[in-house]
Structures are given as C-alpha cells and as structure tokens.
Amino acid sequence: MPTLVAPSILSADFGRLNEEITSIQSADWIHVDVMDGRFVPNITIGPLIVEAARRASQALAAPLPLDVHLMIVEPDRYLADFRKAGADVLTVHAEACVHLDRTVQYLHQLGAKAGVSLNPHTPENVLDYVLDELDVVLCMTVNPGFGGQSLIERVFPKIEKIRREIERRGLKTLVEVDGGVKPDNARRFRDAGAHVMVAGSAVFGAKDRAGAITAIREA
C-alpha cells in the first residue's frame, strides 16, 4: 500500500484556513491536533475549527478525510462533538483513557474510525487486548504538545513491533507516526512500518507544499 501523508494544520495559518487546506489538497488526510492544556501543556482547537476544516475540505475537488488527534483528558466527553463536527478518524491517547476498551467501542458506535495513540514512553503492549478493534495506531515520535520538535529515535523499535504484531494477527490496522517527520527521514519511518505519516512543519513550512507531500509519500 502507498504511504499516506497527513499534514498537521497545527503548523498552518488559522486566519487563512481555507487557503491553507487548499494548499495541501494533494495530501491523503488532514491531521487536526486537539490539545486541552491538561493532557499536554498547550491549548489548540475545538470542534468549531474541526467544522471549519471540514467545510474547507468539502470545497476541494476531492475532499480529504479529517484525522482528529485528541490530546485531551477524559476524551469520551467530547467524542460525539468531534464526530459531529466532521472527524472521520478519531484518535484518543491510551494514557488518557481509564477504560480504553469502552472508549474504542464508543468510537465504533459513533461511526468513526477508531485510533489509539501512544506517547513515546508508553509500551506497545498496552494495546494487546484492544488492537483487533483498532483502525489506527498512532505512534508519537515526539512528546505531544507542539509542532516543530525533533523526533525521538528511541521510538523506532516500537513502530517495528507494532507493525509486526498487526501483521502477525492479519489485521488491517494502519500504523501512523506523528512528530518530526520530514522528507529526509520519511524513508526510515516507512521502513520501520509506518503507513501514515503526519507532518506539520515539514509541509506547512515548505515553499512547495505539494512537493513536500510528494517527497514524504515517495521517500
């Protein structure tokens, strides 16, 4: 399967969201980073902006799915709102869910693709008993909270382990990586097993955004 590229609008200019989304229309997914100032030390966006991003995406010749990454505590309280706002993939953090299995079931009930994210230090085996139910495993390769950080090398073996386990079980679950992905290291992420590459600063900071997307996809 070809690598999917998911530019993170965290690095976009929110005053020009429509143009910013149009500028990345050659991507595969639109990644939306939701932060609450509690799970992570930063506050970003809520369902209203997700709705605006959905409208911008629907105005494209080929609308892109919204990949909403919730870095928030007690995500269950807001899942229906984000789904209603237009999230196609909804990803919660394992560390933020006391009853992760219940949360994943709820995501399915809402008709969303169910994603679970792991912080860099969180071992992959927390997913052992829920992996079969997941559409996406999002492997953080920086400590979540900010764009533009450099990747934590120590996470590569974990990406490999997750991909191997998905294949061993014969699942269709996608492995997504998030943090510090650039055209010049995308190949390493792909070789480690990533199907989906999130890239914020590497895409929105590039003069040629379509070129950056292609470079990451084809690395």
Catalytic site positions: 33, 178
Beta strands in 19-112 (DSSP E): 30-35, 66-71, 89-93
Contact present, 59 and 17 (Cβ < 8 Å)? no
Q: Which of residues 147-176 bind ligand DX5 (CB under 6 A)?
A: 147-149
Q: Which of residues 176-205 bind ligand DX5 (CB under 6 A)?
A: 178-181, 198-202
Segment interacting with Zn ion, rule: CB under 5 A, options 55-63, 81-89, 172-180, 202-210: 172-180
Contact present, 91 and 117 (Cβ < 8 Å)? yes
Sign of torsion, CA 84 82 105 65? positive
Contact present, 219 and 212 (Cβ < 8 Å)? no
Binding of ligand DX5 by 120 (CB under 6 A): no
In whole angstroms, the minimum distance from the beta carbon of 17 to Zn ion comes to 17
Q: Which residues bind Zn ion (CB under 5 A)?
A: 33, 69, 178
Q: Which residues bind ligand DX5 (CB under 6 A)?
A: 8, 10-11, 31, 33, 69, 142, 144-149, 178-181, 198-202
